[in-house]
Amino acid sequence: MEPFHPREWQGHLFGTVEKNLEDRNVIALEAPTGSGKTSFILYLSFMSGKKLIYVTRTHNEFTRLYEDNIKYFDLPVIYLYGKSTLCPLKERWYDSDEESQKNVCKGCILKDKIMDIDMHIKMPPDDYYNKIISLSIENIRNDINNNLIKRDSKGNLIQTGNGNITAYCPYYSVRSSMKNATVVAMTYNYLLNPSIRFNIFHGTEGEESMDINDYYIIFDEAHNIDSVIENFGRSISEKTVNGSINELVDTFPLEEYKCHERIGANLLLEKLEKDIEGTKSGDDLKLFRFSDDVKSRLGDINYIQIFSEKFQAINDNRPIKERRRNYLETVYNFLYDAQRLENGDIYSQKFYPERGDPYKRLRIMYYNTSEYLKFLKNKPVLFMSGTMPSADHISKIWNFENMLYIRVNDIFYNTGGVKKYSIVKGFSTLGRYRDNTEIWSDILKKYMEFIIKTYSNSINSVLVAVPSYKILYGDHDKRIPGIADYLPDELRPFSVFENKKLTYSLIIKKALSDKLIIFSVHGGRLLEGIQITKNNRSLISDVIIAGLPLMPLDDYRKNKIKYLEKTLSGENIYSILYYEYALIKIKQAAGRSTRSPDDMANIYLCDDRFDSKYWRDNLLNN
């Protein structure tokens, strides 16, 4: 371990942050990327002796916690992963969607077989957990070879005698170790989703196993909270409803089940399928309303429940390999929530899976983030991010009125490198320009000329951030070009484009050998997570914000704003949600360029619309 020497801001703010958390206040801490937020909260725990719940958007962010902890503090940490990741008995899983297979552990003999989890791991969390899963699988094999356990005729593991078995469940082992850890790392949904939170803080018999009041609660990358909560609602697709109809028809044939419950369930499902087929779904979220036919039958959803339960009982009795997903249950749960919706609506959208054809789906989308955050009232909570939502946002949208808002850059000079913002005029990605191919082509050419000029003068790689994939790649079916179409061939070997197959390691490898132009999309993976560094210094010297990344004002966004204006007395909501959305996206992109206090970068705001008071106040005069 290395001795930890707090940076200037960490040392100065320690006392204030600790005092406020001790007083059970809420703190919002904005500190630039590379300024040491993660080491700060570990330092806080190390010095105060307090336990932390550390919440991140994805498991990827556990790596940063692990690296800082092993380097300086070696606090006992548990990294919580989901059941579907940690379960060694993959044959019990007929569906990777954890929520839709809640019975997976029912009757499993490993549920109470627990091993001690190492809380001082010396390898990244992913690697450690792969190791304990492999060990568990090996122990299962050994126990079978030693006649301690065997598979019954249905494929379930059963114990054969009184001998001590060595096999264990990694998931429940991690759960049972959590209470002994000083830091428990988990993703947002484990803490913010009420039913998952209940499970996590309670044992297998429902007894309380951890008291949330014993912890400081730390939200990392807190600018993601709204978007994570927006997606908490259930969804169903054409495929789900079709699957539920097949399940009903195949498992409960009408000849044998001539009752009104069976007929009622069938009719409701068929009408629902028609409703989904009839939606004109696109990329945007469109407000969905059930047809009168479905509405008049919604009282029959308990018929679906009856057959879902019957199906589950049959399923549980089948050999493991023949168990199937319970589509009836998925549809029932969706309709149950839809009937009780107060703080949201149902929206239709076309979904593009990584594999297979796109399909239509219905999603329950919620409006009011504060409903999911209210359990944090009067608890010691620290929200932190390099791009923190404004104080207005936190007090109005999240409903934390009395909080301490700290912007580290306002107090300390250059905590995370220097970004020099400038506005470059002469082009825009405004929608009406995109409607005219001739004008749009001229604008794209100008963008590309600026990109090439910047690249030829840059010290290091250039990051180009555009508002959408359509602006990057164009829409070739409609003969609309994209920026990528204007990249000269000679620069292609030195360019990378954001797409689902592009990996961080490939970009980093290329950036280490060549100066690159990296084309990315706001909201895509590159701008949220990538760190292109060498010896802790950023390999990006220039960022081009090619177009203003405004929030897409689809039905959902419009209705969310309307709902919040009505329930939160209206003031400023549009501006908070609409402009902050873009501001956070721009700051996220710019943040890729400074990963240490020694980095300096040019940030070019390339859209005529940046030439206004809001953007000058929030970016240039900051």
Q: Which residue, 321 or 476, is less far from ligand SF4 as judged by CB?
A: 321
Residue 322 contacts by C-beta under 8 Å, 6 or more apart in sequence? none
Tokens for 138? 């090996």
Residue 238 CB, shortest distance to ligand SF4, in Å, is 30
DSSP 8-state code for residue 202: B
Query: What gap in Å lies between CA 577 and CA 369, rounded to an integer?
Result: 12
Given the rule CB under 6 A, which of 59-67, 83-91, 382-390, 490-498 is the region that contacts ligand SF4? 83-91
Instruction: Return the beta strands (E) in 436-579 as ranges.
Output: 461-466, 495-497, 517-521, 533-534, 537-538, 540-546
Query: What gap in Å lies between CA 276 and CA 54, rounded to an integer?
Result: 39
> Cα 382–383–389 angle (5° rounding)?
150
Q: Which residue, 69 or 176, is less far from ligand SF4 as judged by CB?
A: 176
412 counts as binding ligand SF4 under rule CB under 6 A: no
Residue 5 CB, shortest distance to ligand SF4, in Å, is 42
Q: Which residue, 28 or 86, is less far from ligand SF4 as judged by CB?
A: 86
Tokens for 38? 């993660």
Q: Which residue, 172 or 398, is less far from ligand SF4 as judged by CB?
A: 172
- Sign for the CA dihedral angle at 141, 145, 149, 154 comes to positive
Residue 139 CB, shortest distance to ligand SF4, in Å, is 11
Residue 298 CB, shortest distance to ligand SF4, in Å, is 34
Given the rule CB under 6 A, which of 81-89, 181-189, 218-226, 574-582 is the region that contacts ligand SF4? 81-89
Q: Which residue, 139 or 541, is less far from ligand SF4 as judged by CB?
A: 139
Q: Which residue, 150 or 374, is less far from ligand SF4 as judged by CB?
A: 150
Instruction: Return the beta strands (E) in 339-448 as ranges.
Output: 344-351, 359-366, 381-385, 403-407, 418-424
Query: What gap in Å lies between CA 66 and CA 584, rounded to an integer?
Result: 26
DSSP 8-state code for residue 81: -
Instruction: Return the beta strands (E) in 122-168 as ranges.
Output: 149-151, 157-159
Q: Which residue, 78 or 110, is less far from ligand SF4 as judged by CB?
A: 110
Residues 95-114 that bind ligand SF4 (CB under 6 A): 104-105, 108, 110-111
Query: What gap in Å lies between CA 488 and CA 452, rounded to an integer?
Result: 9
CB 535 within 8 A of CB 326: no
Query: What gap in Å lies between CA 615 and CA 422, rounded to an integer?
Result: 11
Q: Which residue, 171 or 190, is less far from ligand SF4 as judged by CB?
A: 171
Q: Which residue, 84 or 242, is less far from ligand SF4 as judged by CB?
A: 84
Residue 112 CB, shortest distance to ligand SF4, in Å, is 8
How many residues lie near ligand SF4 (CB under 6 A)?
Answer: 13
133 counts as binding ligand SF4 under rule CB under 6 A: no
Among residues 51, 57, 92, 363, which is the contact residue for ligand SF4, using CB under 6 A? 92
Q: Which residue, 316 or 442, is less far from ligand SF4 as judged by CB?
A: 316
Q: Which residues make beta-bridge pairs with 79?
A: 185
Residue 106 CB, shortest distance to ligand SF4, in Å, is 8
CB 415 within 8 A of CB 32: yes
* Per-residue binder mask for ligand SF4 (CB under 6 A), 162-181, x = binder: -------x-xx---------
Residue 258 contacts by C-beta under 8 Å, 6 or more apart in sequence? none
Residue 553 CB, shortest distance to ligand SF4, in Å, is 43
Q: Which residue, 79 or 307, is less far from ligand SF4 as judged by CB?
A: 79
Q: Which residue, 83 or 297, is less far from ligand SF4 as judged by CB?
A: 83
Among residues 87, 294, 301, 516, which is the contact residue for ligand SF4, using CB under 6 A? 87
Residue 378 CB, shortest distance to ligand SF4, in Å, is 34
115 counts as binding ligand SF4 under rule CB under 6 A: no
CB 196 within 8 A of CB 91: no
Residue 128 CB, shortest distance to ligand SF4, in Å, is 17
Q: Which long-range contacts (CB under 8 A, 24 or more apart) does 229-232 make?
A: 229/192, 229/366, 229/369, 229/372, 230/365, 230/366, 230/369, 231/365, 232/189, 232/192, 232/193, 232/366, 232/372
Nearest to 123 by CA among 66, 38, 68, 54: 66
Residue tagged 């700051």 (tokens): 587
Residue 92 CB, shortest distance to ligand SF4, in Å, is 5
Among residues 34, 88, 243, 481, which is the contact residue for ligand SF4, using CB under 6 A? 88
80 counts as binding ligand SF4 under rule CB under 6 A: no
Residue 88 CB, shortest distance to ligand SF4, in Å, is 6
- Which one-letter amino acid corresponds to residue 321? K
421 counts as binding ligand SF4 under rule CB under 6 A: no
Q: Which residue, 88 or 416, is less far from ligand SF4 as judged by CB?
A: 88
Tell me whether residue 58 is exposed, middle or buried, using C-beta atoms within 10 angstroms of its C-beta: 0 to 12, 13 to 18, 19 or more.
middle
Residue 89 contacts by C-beta under 8 Å, 6 or more apart in sequence? 108, 110, 140, 157
Residue 76 CB, shortest distance to ligand SF4, in Å, is 23
- Sign for the CA dihedral angle at 50, 56, 59, 63 comes to negative
Q: Which residues of the shown chain bind ligand SF4 in the complex (CB under 6 A)?
A: 83, 87-89, 92, 104-105, 108, 110-111, 169, 171-172
